[in-house]
A and B are shown apart, each in its own frame.
Chain A
Amino acid sequence: MSKADAAAAILWVGATFYALFGGADFGGGFWDLVAGWDERGQRPRDVIQRSLTPVWEANHVWLIFVLVVLWTAFPSAFSAIFTTLYVPIALAALGIVLRGAGFAFRKSIVGLRERRAMGATFAISSVLTPFFMGTVVGAIAAGNVPAEGNGDAFSSWLQPLPLLIGAMFVASGAYLAAVFLVGDARRGDHEMESYFERRALGAAVVAGALAIAGLFALHSEARYVFDRLTAEGLPLVVLSLLCGAALLIVLVRGGRRPLRPLAAGAVIAVVWGWGVAQFPYLLPTSLRIDQAAAPDATMTTVFIVFAVAAVVVLPSLGLLYTLAQKDLLESDH
């Protein structure tokens, strides 16, 4: 594996963590949005808020990690993406601001009206943000980002495939969130447990349907990626399908374990399937990984930073999740 390929793998590791944890946090916002008016929605909203509060900021940092690795290790790809897809990227940034502020403010105010307004801000932007991020990924996969950048600001992403991928981002976040929330609600709340089980089931079906529609769109709009996904990437596609199917069976039979690993497995397989399908391109089919790569010394530094992250950040994250799962972190005060 070349240094550039290794750096691309690090980028994908960051994207995987973000898809899993950042994605689930956005999904939490989605369920908050559709939880219903004040009283009906209060209990699920409580579960969602308790679950998200201690972890969403740490989870958000994976996005920063991905951006930083992208601009350090592959600066020309970063610039090409941002000069072409600046419209959905700016909209995603807007969504990130509203999501974070809405969530943080809602938690710290008391007035019902204000809480509603902040809650709506948080919830709506939790849906729009992953949608626009998905259109960015879809536009890249579709080959709509030229290596030299400054591609068309609108036709690059206002296409069936990017829009479908955007919808898939929303659905898979909702799916992950529902599965995670089943676990979070389980600590004593059977009603909420089955509430999120039903929603996990629904989201799994929708995400699966969107994935199949996505395959058709890939076939017509991103032939290079489609061809590799159905050849080199096939094992990952199958793995994702198996995880998804197994999860459905467990859910339908009311089984208890292992919901989270299966949901995570399905999403991880899709993220890496996308990576394998694009390989060796960062921007199919105009910019290869090795063409975009920064000088060797920069790559070495990225590896060192990644190693430090693995030694320092991952155990810290583990500690945070463990404390949160053991209910040692109190979000109400």
Chain B
Amino acid sequence: MPLLDLLPLAASESNLLAAREQMAFTLAFHIVLSCIGVALPATMMVANYVGLKKGDEHALELAKRWSKAMAVTFAVGAVTGTVLSFEFGLLWPEFMDRFGAAFGVAFAIEGIFFFVEAIFLAVYIYGWKRLAPWAHFWSGVPMVITGIGGAFSVVAANAWMNQPQGFTLNAAGEVVDVEPLKVLFNPATGYEVAHMVLAAYMVVGFLVASIYAVGMLKGRRDRLHRLGLVIPLTIACIATPVQLFVGDTAAREIAADQPAKFAAMECIYETGPDQTEYFGGICTEDGVKGAIGIPGLDSFLVGWSTDTKVIGLNSIPDDEEPPAHTLLHLSFDAMVGIGSALLGLALWFALAWWKRRDIPQTPWFLRAVSVSGGAAIVALWCGWIVTEVGRQPWIVNGYMRTSEAVTEAEGIWFTFGLVLLLYAGLGTGAVLVLRGMSRRWREKGAEEVQSPYAPQAEEAS
């Protein structure tokens, strides 16, 4: 059903739909790799630090393995990120033409962070054998900063599309003056950046932990697996409660600043107080079908009182209304639902650790952790669907419609098809390569765990 809402009204809009689908698909693919680039370095550095400080070979081995895995994901992320830069011009040339001067700045800054990350990642990944252990550790630290800096720049650009400011247009609609700081620090930057960085830490934390949880369920209950589960899971479990707080703040900000998006994602049709909060269901013009509704809760969440007036879709001009209400509503609910479930998992883990300094002893805990990584990714995608589809029909909220931005070039359905094939190969290849690495590590077993910094140790002795 949600996909039907996306179908174009006229054949002339076919190109626009193809371009939007291709952009959405390539972004969804890339965002997972971006998360790894943003948050895996910190996870690695924690393991590396523990390893060096306590002489813990298992922790060092984990850091080493994660860095080898990141060599693969970073390469795939670098090329899929490049595809996105090309798509700005290939799919949305009018957008770049009119607004590149305003929001391009954010990407220029991102370029520097990406540069530094690529450089130090190479030093870190390939420096295991021949750099001194602590020098090697410090060569990885810049990645933690550049990951967050890069996320800031890119998400600031997206936040600007939601809350554009910091530019002056002339009568012809051309950008004639720019205030770069206002572009970068627009009203949506704060919550979007925090939300995304925390999401990256959650995705990586739960994803890495889930890999080791699967291993433990298969009976590999050695120390390496326990550490491989506990380190990333701890990071994710610290990020999760903060994320729910940030997300809650973001929703209130969106209610105030982007009422059309908020109305669509909450299925609010009539402006007014006492709005019902709907969980699930299908949004129709005659109201929400099949949902669990709590009267007044939506108004309460927006303004701490059931009297809070919330703008409904009837107050939004028809041609400025976001499409696919049900998709938006269900995506939002799925994101919040998964986030809450992950919070439950975090509390379970925290409680067990506090009581017994150990993970919960039931296999159900490992089962929960093993699906948490996938769930976190689904939540991430749902959040971006709300952000991006919820901004439609605008590409620059209130200033430029997505239909005005799209290329006149034909054949986007064709390139989209090619991209689907190409990325299917890319994704399959990456997964196979990573699984192969993991299998080889398992087969080599203990002797490789001995000494990641072996050559130094040999030279020293």
Interface residues of A (CB under 8 A from B): 53-55, 57-58, 60-61, 63-65, 67-69, 71-73, 75-76, 78-79, 81-83, 86, 89-90, 92-94, 96-101, 103-105, 107-110, 118, 149-150, 153, 294-298, 300-302, 305, 308-309, 312-313, 316-317, 319-320, 323, 327-331, 333
Contact = CB atoms under 8 A, between A and B. Distances in A.
Residue picked from B114, B120, B131, B176, most chain A C-beta under 10 Å: B114
A71 B118 contact: no
Contacts of B432: 109
Interface residues of B, number: 70
A83 B93 contact: yes
A57 B111 contact: no
Given A97-B79, A104-B71, A330-B128, A309 B115 contact: yes
B127 interface: yes
B82 A63 contact: yes
B126 A331 contact: yes
Contact of A328 (B74, B79, B130): B130
Contact of B108 (A68, A153, A312): A68
Given A79-B89, A150-B409, A329-B127, 20 more contacts: A57-B121, A58-B119, A64-B111, A72-B104, A78-B97, A79-B96, A81-B89, A82-B93, A83-B409, A97-B422, A98-B422, A104-B71, A107-B71, A296-B177, A302-B108, A316-B119, A317-B115, A323-B127, A323-B131, A328-B131
Residue picked from B93, B94, B120, B408, most chain A C-beta under 10 Å: B93
Residue picked from A103, A295, A308, A312, most chain B C-beta under 10 Å: A295
A93 B87 CA distance: 9
Contacts of A316: 115-116, 119-120
Interface string B240-255: 0000000000000000
B105 A90 contact: no
28 contacts: A58-B118, A60-B78, A68-B85, A68-B111, A69-B108, A75-B99, A78-B89, A79-B89, A82-B93, A86-B90, A89-B89, A90-B90, A96-B83, A100-B76, A101-B79, A101-B426, A103-B75, A104-B71, A104-B76, A105-B430, A110-B440, A150-B409, A295-B101, A295-B176, A305-B109, A313-B116, A327-B130, A330-B130
Contacts of A61: 111, 114-115, 118
A61 B85 CA distance: 12
A50 B276 CA distance: 62
A71 B126 CA distance: 34
A16 to B, nearest CB: 16
Given A108-B72, A298-B101, A65 B111 contact: yes
B314 interface: no
B74 A329 contact: no
Interface in B121-175: 121-123, 125-131, 175
B78 A57 contact: yes
B453 to A, nearest CB: 12
A206 to B, nearest CB: 28
Given A60-B82, A78-B89, A105-B429, A312 B116 contact: yes
A90 B82 contact: no
A97 to B, nearest CB: 5
B271 interface: no
Nearest to B429: A105
The prevalent SS among residues of A at the interface is: helix
A104 B72 CA distance: 6
Nearest to A67: B85
Given A75-B101, A79-B89, A109-B436, A64 B119 contact: no
Interface of B: 68, 71-72, 74-76, 78-83, 85-86, 88-90, 93-94, 96-102, 104-105, 107-112, 114-116, 118-123, 125-131, 175-180, 407-409, 415, 418, 422, 426, 429-430, 432-433, 436-437, 440
A323 B97 contact: no
A98 B179 CA distance: 39
B88 A101 contact: no
Nearest to A94: B422
A206 B302 CA distance: 69
B130 A295 contact: no
Contacts of A305: 105, 108-109, 111-112
B75 A54 contact: no
Contacts of B119: 58, 313, 316-317, 319-320
A333 B128 contact: yes
Contacts of B111: 61, 64-65, 68, 305, 309
B94 A79 contact: yes
Nearest to A107: B71
B82 A330 contact: no
A318 to B, nearest CB: 10
Contact of A82 (B90, B104, B422): B90
Nearest to A60: B78
Residue picked from B81, B123, B426, most chain A C-beta under 10 Å: B123
A109 B433 contact: yes
A298 B127 contact: no
B340 to A, nearest CB: 37
Given A108-B72, A110-B440, A328-B130, A89 B90 contact: yes
A298 B180 contact: yes
A104 B131 CA distance: 23
B97 to A, nearest CB: 4
A305 B85 CA distance: 18
Nearest to B97: A79
B126 A53 contact: yes
Nearest to A100: B79
Nearest to A309: B112
A86 B180 contact: no
Residue picked from B90, B105, B110, most chain A C-beta under 10 Å: B105
A310 to B, nearest CB: 10
Contacts of B177: 295-297
B170 to A, nearest CB: 10
B408 A83 contact: yes
A304 B407 CA distance: 31
Contacts of B126: 53-54, 329-331
Contacts of A83: 89, 93, 407-409
Nearest to A318: B119
A296 B179 CA distance: 10
A76 B97 CA distance: 5
Given A61-B115, A150-B408, A68 B180 contact: no
A90 B93 contact: no
A308 B129 CA distance: 31
A86 B118 contact: no
A170 to B, nearest CB: 19
A57 B437 contact: no
B254 to A, nearest CB: 28
Residue picked from A61, A98, A323, most chain B C-beta under 10 Å: A61
A78 B80 CA distance: 20
Contacts of B407: 82-83, 86
